[in-house]
Each structure stands twice: as structure tokens, then as C-alpha cells.
Amino acid sequence: MNFKRQSNEDPEVNLIPLIDVLLVILIFLMISTTYSKYTELKITLPTADAEQAQNRPHEIVVAVSSSGEYAVDRQILSERSVSAIAQALRAAARGMPDAMVVISADAQATQQSVVNVMEAARAAGLSRLTFATQKSS
């Protein structure tokens, strides 16, 4: 006695429910995942592979040393206040309404020193700012 049915049909696998379940899991994981972009920042600063600087006649170079000393157009400032820097920038920009301020800061200079130069440029009415970099080796 052979009670087994003979079937020549291949079993069919339905993938639609499996895809539905995977999409629900994916949506759940996307919603419940917390992103920790504010807990730790690992920053790798870019290097500048720029072309050679073009000769711009209306630029004011502000140098910032690692110890926080400032020089505007190669004249070292005795004071380190924002108002003193702004006064020196106004004097250097006299007769040049579209002057560009080039901030040449040492790699070890504090961020506050660079922000002071930016604030002084704003106070002096100079809105065109750029940063000097060196070519990476």
C-alpha cells in the first residue's frame, strides 16, 4: 500500500512576505537608531593643494603668530585688542574700498586669535576674507 501522492509540481517560494518583513525591520532600525554626531567629533583637517596665488593689488595681509601677536601689512601691532586690529585694518584699507583681508595664521594659533581678526575686519567694514594656506607635501 502506497499512500503517498505522486506530485510533479515544484514547491513555490513566495518572497513578497519576506520583503515586507525586511522593510518593516529596516524602518524600525532607522527610526530607533540614535546618531552620535554631537558626542564625539573626529576631524581631519584638509590640506590645500591650491594653485599659486595670483597677484591681487587690493589685499591686506594679517599675520597671526602662535603666541597671539598680530601684524597688519608687515607692521607688528603692540595691542592685541579687536579695536586696535580694526583701526590698523581701516588705516591699511584707506583708499581701497574692495580690499581683501588675507588671514595668515600659524598652525598653532588659537581659534580666538583668528576670530578676533575676523571680528576686527567686520568692524572695519571689510567683508572680503580669505585664509592663506601652504601646499601640502
Query: Is there a domain that residue 68 lies in?
Result: yes
Read off the C-alpha cell for 43: 576631524
Q: Which of 126, 136, 128, 56 is nearest to 88 (CA)?
A: 126
Query: Is there a domain that residue 1 lies in?
Result: no
Rg, the chain, Cα only:
32
Tell me the pTM: 0.58
Query: Is there a domain that residue 96 lies in?
Result: yes
Query: Is there a domain that residue 35 lies in?
Result: no
Query: Is there a domain that residue 121 lies in?
Result: yes
Number of domains in the chain: 1
- pLDDT given for residue 136 in this prediction: 65
- pLDDT given for residue 43 in this prediction: 40
**CB count, 10 Å around CB of 127?**
11
Strands 75-76 and 128-131: unpaired
- pLDDT given for residue 38 in this prediction: 43
Query: Is there a domain that residue 70 lies in?
Result: yes
- The CATH number of the domain holding residue 69 is 3.30.420.270
- pLDDT given for residue 2 in this prediction: 64
What confidence tens digit (pLDDT) does each residue in 75-126 have? 888 888 999 999 999 898 888 878 889 888 888 888 898 899 999 999 988 8
**Which domain does 112 fall in, by range?**
59-131
Query: Is there a domain that residue 108 lies in?
Result: yes
What confidence tens digit (pLDDT) does each residue in 7-31 have? 677 778 888 999 999 999 999 988 8
DSSP character string of 81-100: SHHHHHHHHHHHTTT-TT-E
Query: Is there a domain that residue 98 lies in?
Result: yes
What confidence tens digit (pLDDT) does each residue in 36-74 have? 544 443 444 345 665 555 556 688 888 888 888 898 888
